[in-house]
Amino acid sequence: MTSISSLTNAVRVALLATTSAALLASTAVYAEEQDENKIERIEVTGSKIKRIGQLSPTPVTIITGADMMDMGITNVADILNKLPSSTVGISPETSNNTIFANGLNQTNLRGLGSDRTLVLVNGRRFVAGSNGSSAVDLNTIPTAMVARIEVITGGASAVYGSDAIAGVINIITRTDVEGIELDASYIQPEQSGGEESQFSLTAGGSFIDDKLSTVFNFTYAEQQELRKSDRDFLDNPVNSIYNPDTSDGAPARIAYEGRKPLSWINEAGTFFADDGGQYTFDKNGNMKVFDYGEGLIEGPGNNGNYCGPSCEGYDPVNYGLVRTPLERMVFTLNTDYEINDDHKIFTEITYVDYQSNGESSPVFHTNNPIAADNAFLPDDTRQLMTDTGMTGFNLYRMDREFGNRTYNQDRETMRFLIGIEGVISDDWDYSFHAQRGQLDETTVWGGEIWDARYNQAKDSVFAADGSIVCRDTDAQAAGCVPLNLFGENQASQAAVDWVSTSAGQTAKTTQTTAGLVVSGALFDLPAGYVSAAFSADYRKEESETNPDQALVDGTIFGNNANPMKGEYDVTEFAAEFSIPLLSDMFLAHDLGIDLAYRWMDYSTAGNDDAWKVGLNWAPIEDLRIRATKSKSVRAPNIGELFSPAGQTFESFTDVCDKINVELGPNDNRKANCQASGLPEGWNPSDSFYQSNTPGSNAGNADLKAETSNDYTVGAVYTPSYLEGFSITVDYWAFEISDAIEYIDVDVAVRYCYDSESLDNVYCSRFTRDGSTGDIVDFVQSPVNSASFDVKGVDIESQYDIPTDSFGDFKVHVIATYLEEWQTNPTGFAEDLQVDVGEYTDPRWKAMFSLGWNLDVLNLEARANYRHSSVASNDWQPENNNYNDIPSSTVWDFTGSYAFTDSLSVRFGVKNAFDLAPPRNPYVYDGAGLYDTTGRAFFLGANYKI
């Protein structure tokens, strides 16, 4: 029988061949066992079949863990987000104001969304990184444990199941550790803020007569916060204003460089008096005329809400973070125990604990009435009110006394996996695993206040004895402490303590999986063995949230939440076949097809299936042509299905009213309004348009799976006359239908009646009163209404150039050209959004590297390129004067030097030319797409004992 050790050796040989060839596919090779002279079967990336001598028809990009370390990468997400085929998902740069997602690190293949990108660890699923989602948090993967990352873009759902519509990120962990390895690195930006440090200890070895092998890793990593005030280009923002020039042909909006505080609110409090003036208070609480600095910004619209940089208004640049701070500890222990030569037991244990801290402005009040007899009013303010006959005023104020609002997240992840694998016969082997993963999240809001207590404490009056008390006697009995809001930090600590509070929420996500794979050779054809893999999988996902009662009741400032509990399970069966058709013939060095089929039964979305057909043809040894056609699916996640209803109020147009019913884009609107029971000439009641309608935001338990029809066609060329050179070109396309989209009530009402009939996904989103016809309730929730059409070309080339005297050179290029990227959230033609060429989806993205190795010294220059783009494809000259966004190329220079076999150091400068994001209102702050750290230096060391 084939031993586990020989199979492992074969895999290692195959990986070496893949790396040296730099192909976009894993290469399977013939590997001989030295003492048995037998051919081994190895596993090919993107498939569960172990094959002999074939290339997968599915394109695959491979990144090694060593490459990441040499680049100064401390988080797996950072390298994935640099790939041209990917874009940034949720990250510390994009999640600061996203409370429950604060600090997450997710990747997003093809820009189709993190929930459409499946992340695996050693080919198996990993528990989600946030409650209600299916996306994995890459903060849970220690870089020191990464052997390689395989990026499979498209066509993987038939092999791996749901969530793989855009592709699969398969992270393979190290198994080759002998002894102890210490690693440390530090990144220091030239301007302070955004520092990063990482330390890891990795240990491994063999025990019990070499039957037991283990790899252990502990990683501690910290990323410091980055504020706008920490960077010159962020401290001097680029925004936009309405154009003061309103002449014909002038653009409606123009770029505005510099700070522009809000002119009607500040930290000391400001109000408008009946004499037409605006007043504020100095830090000591003395009234003064509001200073507009350079004056109000001229022009139409809301320009007058802003003033020059030195005015006394609220400046948002002073608050919030560009990058959320992150501190994480990761423990990993993987073991293999050989029962005998043919079977082994394996385990994977992961424990992660990390904290992230978001931050925004203090609580603020814009509806804040102050009575004329307020005890804290300065005398001159009281006199002004008397002179102008004011009985009160509205105080616009940022309440800095309570501190900035903070969103502190603690995420604790635990995953345990156990499995057994081995050989059944010379031709067949098996692998079975079961795993349990759990994520516990604790979120705490700081800088919060009790709304009722704030209103009671600010309404302070003089008592009969001259003391200052809260006007509300019940509040007095409850311990109310008067709150002085005039000036900055004039409130007593006792008042601040009585009004202040914090609130929190706990959440738990649990994943339970089990899977069996049986793989082997069915029979022999003239061109080779017909190989197959059969698999069965079970998965259960559970999520729940438990907010504090204050959040449920809505009694604190600006935040409310409801508890949620949801779960689903899925049973799956899959089969794959690799069929060699021709070999060693004219124009058929080899020719084969790959087939895959997966059947899925979801407890929520019901039955579905996915399939793939692949062609693998090498007309000559130097050229390989490959193509795949597949159907992929994504089932709705727990958040989309079970998010609890939270009350909201909306104002919207009822398209069935007397006027709007005649304005429909077709005859459907009027016919459907009448078919719903509304008579001709109907109007809603007066109160409908005079007040907001109550409704709710919630999940949708009736969602079904998304479907993608995708294909790739490409070629791999490795010319024998140019040793060390390879190039791959792959054309790919995704057409996703029934995609899940959140629909607002105004959209639901409009498309309910503009559809061909009332039998559509929109009409069930709202309810009418049976007597008046008024819409009296609605649910804003996700529906299967959207579609995506995304096409492009991936190019990768590598050229290894060894020399006898000058070392070895390596040139590597990865690029993606985006031919088409469009989406339609509703299915109606007028809602089609063509995004290709816009700043979120530029035509070209590329990575280039030039490396040089001489003995123990390695040097590399690496560039990340982002093509010039526009803010909007629908731009017209009369819209604005800032539509064009220039290209961006960020250069890193890195190196490593091995002092001894045990000690090596890494060094380099990232963003060596200190390139800032383009000076454009859309992206000056990076928008998660451009580097905001600036020039940074890194140093790392690795020591093996």
Read off the pLDDT of each residue in 390-396 and give the average, rounded to a whole number.
Answer: 96
Percent of the chain with pLDDT over 90: 84
Read off the pLDDT of each residue in 826-846 and give the average, rounded to a whole number.
Answer: 94
In this model, does residue 117 exceed pLDDT 80? yes
pLDDT at residue number 39: 39
Percent of the chain with pLDDT over 70: 94
pLDDT at residue number 56: 58
What tokens were used for 855? 């003995």
Q: Are 763 and 752 in contact (CB under 8 A)?
A: yes
In this model, does residue 54 exceed pLDDT 50? no
pLDDT at residue number 25: 32
Confidence of residue 95 (pLDDT cuts 50, 70, 90): confident
In this model, does residue 92 exceed pLDDT 60? yes
| Mutual angle of helices 745-754 and 668-675, in 10-degree steps | 100
Confidence of residue 535 (pLDDT cuts 50, 70, 90): very high
Burial of 735 (0-12, 13-18, 19+ CB in 10 A): middle
In this model, does residue 43 exceed pLDDT 90? no
Q: Are 164 and 578 in contact (CB under 8 A)?
A: no
Read off the pLDDT of each residue in 387-405 and give the average, rounded to a whole number.
Answer: 95
The Cα–Cα gap between 439 and 904 comes to 36
Question: Helix, strand or coil for residue 47?
Answer: coil
In this model, does residue 609 exceed pLDDT 50? yes
pLDDT at residue number 4: 36
In this model, does residue 460 exceed pLDDT 70? yes
Question: Helix, strand or coil for residue 365?
Answer: strand
Buried b (16+ CB within 10 A) or exposed e, 819-834: eebbbbbbbeeeeeeb
Confidence of residue 55 (pLDDT cuts 50, 70, 90): low
Regarding beta strands 326-340 and 869-870, do their DSSP bridges make them parallel or antiparallel, or are they unpaired?
Answer: unpaired
**Starting from the edge strand earliest in sequence, which strands make up the sheet with 60-64, in order?**
60-64, 146-152, 167-173, 117-121, 124-125
The Cα–Cα gap between 479 and 474 comes to 9
Residue 496 has, within 13 A of its CA and on its CB side, a CA count of 14
In this model, does residue 549 exceed pLDDT 70? yes
Mean pLDDT of the chain: 91
Read off the pLDDT of each residue in 669-676 and give the average, rounded to a whole number.
Answer: 95
In this model, does residue 77 exceed pLDDT 50? yes
pTM of the model: 0.90
Read off the pLDDT of each residue in 746-753 and give the average, rounded to a whole number.
Answer: 94
pLDDT at residue number 717: 95
Read off the pLDDT of each residue in 316-323 and give the average, rounded to a whole number.
Answer: 90
DSSP character at residue 678: P
Read off the pLDDT of each residue in 186-212 and give the average, rounded to a whole number.
Answer: 95
In this model, does residue 400 exceed pLDDT 50? yes
The Cα–Cα gap between 435 and 448 comes to 40
In this model, does residue 57 exceed pLDDT 80? no
Rg of the chain, C-alpha, whole Å: 31
Of 58-62, 96-100, 457-461, the poorest mean pLDDT is in 96-100
The Cα–Cα gap between 468 and 503 comes to 30
The Cα–Cα gap between 776 and 687 comes to 11
Confidence of residue 320 (pLDDT cuts 50, 70, 90): confident
Residue type, position 508, single letter: K
Burial of 301 (0-12, 13-18, 19+ CB in 10 A): exposed
In this model, does residue 11 exceed pLDDT 90? no
Alpha-helical segments (H) within 57-167: 65-70, 76-80, 157-160
What tokens were used for 227? 């504020």
pLDDT at residue number 44: 54
Confidence of residue 177 (pLDDT cuts 50, 70, 90): very high
Regarding beta strands 869-870 and 884-885, do their DSSP bridges make them parallel or antiparallel, or are they unpaired?
Answer: antiparallel
What tokens were used for 705? 């799976």
Buried b (16+ CB within 10 A) or exposed e, 869-904: bbbbeeeeeeebebbebeebebbbebbbeeeeeeeb
Nearest to 523 by CA among 574, 575, 579, 576: 579
